[in-house]
Amino acid sequence: MALKPTDLKHCTPNDLSIADQMEKEIDETMKRAFTNAGGTFQIKEGATQGAIREVQHRYQHAGWTVEYHSDQREGSWLTFKLPAPCGRPEDGY
């Protein structure tokens, strides 16, 4: 029988602890620097993939569109975008 995603343990206690800290930092960054269209959050070294996935899930569940980006020069970051109002992507939100 094929495994379901729920059959696997995705986050360790360490992942959840890192995700909690990232969430606090993201919330502060949002209050300070995000615009009505969203913004970006630079991921600090030491963040685990499990923590990053957990953070993406939390903010997607809260209504954000969240994308993970990574490259050798710039490091890793998350881009947060607000969903289009009334489902109109042509408005650019």
pLDDT tier at 9, thresholds 50, 70, 90: low
pLDDT tens for each residue of 23-34: 999 999 999 999
List Cβ<8 Å contacts ≥24 apart for 62-69. 64/38, 65/38
Architecture of domain 12-91: 2-Layer Sandwich (3.30)
pLDDT tens for each residue of 14-67: 999 999 999 999 999 999 999 888 899 999 999 999 999 999 999 999 999 999
Domain ranges within the chain, ordered by starting residue: 12-91
Q: What is the pTM of this model?
A: 0.79
